[in-house]
Amino acid sequence: MKDSQSLSAAVIKDSNVSRLPESLSFQTIDDYIFTLPGYGAQVATFGTMIGFLIFISSFILAIFIYILTTQKKNIFGILKAEGIPNRYISRSVQSQVILLATTGMLIGLGLTVLSGLGFGDKLPFMIQPVFFLIISSLFLICAAIGGIASVRVVTKIDPVGAIG
Amino acid sequence: MAKEKALLQMIDVVRDFKQGGEVVHALKKTNLSIMAGQLVAIIGPSGSGKSTFLTIAGGLQLPTSGVVLIEKTDITNMNSKQLSDIRLNRIGFILQSSNLVPFLSVDQQLELRSRAVGQSVNKVSRDKIFQELGIESLRSKYPSELSGGERQRVAIAKAIYGDPNIILADEPTASLDTKKAFEVVEIIARQAKDHKKAVIMVTHDERLIKYCDVVYVMKDGILSLKK
């Protein structure tokens, strides 16, 4: 009985310890950290910020690729007037989009890792391969969606517009 | 006999289109045949139907009624892919604003056509064209580095690179001074004379008429021979 008054918490490695007083409840370390004042709220805030940042970036990426391609509408019109097959133009657009997105992504990843090394111990930074992989694929998929949308526009261009 | 060599024929071709619920007769009943070796000019004010005529002659759009024959092939019932093939293989276009891709060098402008059909560059034919048009020294330049006259020469090179029998030129001398304009038209005329192409040139520049074999006037959608 004396133990329950002098011991208010214990950190143990093995949950099968039986000598702890009955009045203490069991919690995993992760669960306990979440009950620290402000910790949960902080994680939720940062998580939401990061999530939205990724979401907005991928959205901008898709729109950027779409605008980049449709800006060249006149050139595509001329090429189509000259009889360059739709299939060739579409394939070029789509492969260039993928090349551009992949290069951008690799540069981004490289800079991220480099800045992580630069921070050293001053800033908590961890490379999470799974997380990086998910974001990278999301960016690639969004770029491809932007590419597909622009290919649709390109194939619909009326070559008549190239004359007059 | 003469009809045998006609590369481009239009029989009773009419083109109407609707604009704000009103039917516009852009091209009224047109009959025309153009032989190999002929340079034909179509002159007329803007809005007279010149562009409509050119887009139908070039297989860019189909007539409302009538028949268009390109090297004896009726294109009137073709789908857009077949028309695209006809344009690629049978027709060379020289457009007003010079149909060059801004981010490709002169060499690459021609290479693009070969690549689009899955071939490698025909170096012999390319070098011959560059030499004939006097543009060998411009090969690695980009359109923005070329003068107006040089740009049109490259556009001509691009148009004849696929060795089409029909060449359509839309205001090829727009924005050129008289000397340069004459140089460009001389090159175009040579395509008809030396290489036996059928060339149609749409222009509002009457100074160029002296180079042409036949001159038509387009007015309100009616095509008639110039007296």
Please write the tens of the pLDDT for every residue from B44-77.
Answer: 888 888 989 999 999 999 999 999 999 999 999 9
Residue ranges of chain A with per-residue pLDDT less than 50: 1
Q: How many folded domains does chain A comprise? A: 2
Q: Tell me whether residue A157 is exposed, middle or buried, using C-beta atoms within 10 angstroms of its C-beta: 0 to 12, 13 to 18, 19 or more.
A: buried
Give CA–CA dist B39/B54, Å, rounded: 14
Is residue A22 within 8 angstroms of chain B, CB to CB?
Answer: no
Is residue B86 within 8 angstroms of chain A, CB to CB?
Answer: yes
Q: Which two tokens stand for residue A111?
A: 């800079």
Phi, psi angle pair for B6, to nearest 5°: -65, 125
The reply to whether A85 and A115 lie within a common domain is yes
Nearest by CB to residue A82, choosing from B51, B61, B87, is B87
The reply to whether A105 and A156 lie within a common domain is yes
Is residue A157 within 8 angstroms of chain B, CB to CB?
Answer: no
CB atoms near residue B107 (< 10 Å): 15
Averaged pLDDT score across all residues of chain B: 91
The reply to whether A74 and A7 lie within a common domain is no
- What is the pTM (predicted TM-score) of this model? 0.82
Q: Shortest Cα distance from B116 to chain A (angstroms)?
A: 6
Question: What does DSSP say about strands B73-74 and B65-70: parallel, antiparallel, or unpaired?
Answer: antiparallel
The reply to whether A58 and A77 lie within a common domain is yes
Q: Which two tokens stand for residue A93?
A: 């657009």
pLDDT at residue B1 greater than cutoff 70: no
pLDDT at residue B121 greater than cutoff 80: yes
Test the A interface: residue of B52, B62, B84 with most A CBs within 10 Å: B84
Query: Which strand ranges, in their side-by-side order, compose the sheet holding B22-35?
Result: B22-35, B6-19, B65-70, B73-74
Whole-angstrom CA distances from B115 to A84, B109, B139 are 10, 10, 18
The reply to whether A9 and A46 lie within a common domain is no
Predicted local confidence at residue A53, as pLDDT: 93
The reply to whether A67 and A134 lie within a common domain is yes
Predicted local confidence at residue A39, as pLDDT: 87
Beta-carbon contacts below 8 Å between A and B: 64
Taken in order B118, B122, B125, B130, the sign of the CA dihedral is positive
The reply to whether A10 and A76 lie within a common domain is no
Task: Please write the tens of the pLDDT for every residue from B84-118.
Answer: 999 999 999 998 766 899 999 999 999 999 999 89
Test the A interface: residue of B87, B100, B108, B167 with most A CBs within 10 Å: B87
Nearest by CB to residue B87, choosing from A75, A81, A88, is A81
Are B84 and A79 within 8 A, CB to CB? no
| Domain, as residue range, for A19 | 1-35
Are B93 and A81 within 8 A, CB to CB? yes
Q: What is the mean pLDDT of residues B129-147?
A: 94
Contact between A139 and A58 under an 8 Å Cβ cutoff? The reply is yes
The reply to whether A22 and A78 lie within a common domain is no
Predicted local confidence at residue A1, as pLDDT: 47
Q: Which two tokens stand for residue B129?
A: 């064209």
pLDDT at residue B2 greater than cutoff 60: no
Give CA–CA dist A88/B223, Å, rounded: 37
Nearest by CB to residue B95, choosing from A84, A86, A162, is A162
Q: Which two tokens stand for residue A142?
A: 């969004």
Is residue B170 within 8 angstroms of chain A, CB to CB?
Answer: yes
Q: Which two tokens stand for residue B181?
A: 């304009």
Phi, psi angle pair for B70, to nearest 5°: -110, 115
Question: What does DSSP say about strands B22-35 and B6-19: parallel, antiparallel, or unpaired?
Answer: antiparallel
Taken in order A146, A147, A152, A158, the sign of the CA dihedral is positive
- pLDDT confidence bin for B4, thresholds 50/70/90: low
Q: Shortest Cα distance from A60 to chain B (angstroms)?
A: 25
The reply to whether A3 and A82 lie within a common domain is no
Nearest to B117 by CA among A29, A3, A1, A88: A88
- pLDDT confidence bin for B214, thresholds 50/70/90: very high
Percentage of chain B surpassing pLDDT 70?
97
Test the B interface: residue of A72, A86, A90, A163 with most B CBs within 10 Å: A163
Q: Which residue of A has its CA nearest to B88?
A: A83
Q: Shortest Cα distance from B1 to chain A (angstroms)?
A: 31
Q: In sequence order, what are the beta bridge partners of B169?
A: B94, B201
A89-102 burial, b for 16+ CB within 10 Å, e for fewer? bbebbbeebeebbe
**Residue A83 region by backbone torsions, left for phi larger than 0, else alpha for psi between -120 and 50, else beta:** left
Is residue B197 within 8 angstroms of chain A, CB to CB?
Answer: no
Q: Tell me whether residue A155 is exposed, middle or buried, using C-beta atoms within 10 angstroms of its C-beta: 0 to 12, 13 to 18, 19 or more.
A: middle
The reply to whether A2 and A71 lie within a common domain is no
Find tokens 């038209």 and name the residue: B185
Test the B interface: residue of A72, A78, A80, A82 with most B CBs within 10 Å: A82
Are A81 and B99 within 8 A, CB to CB? yes
What single-letter DSSP state applies at residue B141?
-
Contact between B146 and B70 under an 8 Å Cβ cutoff? The reply is no
What single-letter DSSP state applies at residue B165?
S
The reply to whether A25 and A99 lie within a common domain is no
Cβ neighbors of B189 (< 8 A, separation 6 or more) are: B39, B199, B211, B212
- Residue B225's Cβ-side half-sphere holds a number of Cα atoms within 13 Å equal to 6
Find tokens 């004010």 and name the residue: B45
The reply to whether A29 and A81 lie within a common domain is no
Q: What is the mean pLDDT of residues B142-146?
A: 95
Find tokens 């090394």 and name the residue: A117
Give CA–CA dist B78/A56, Å, rounded: 45
Give CA–CA dist A153/A139, Å, rounded: 21
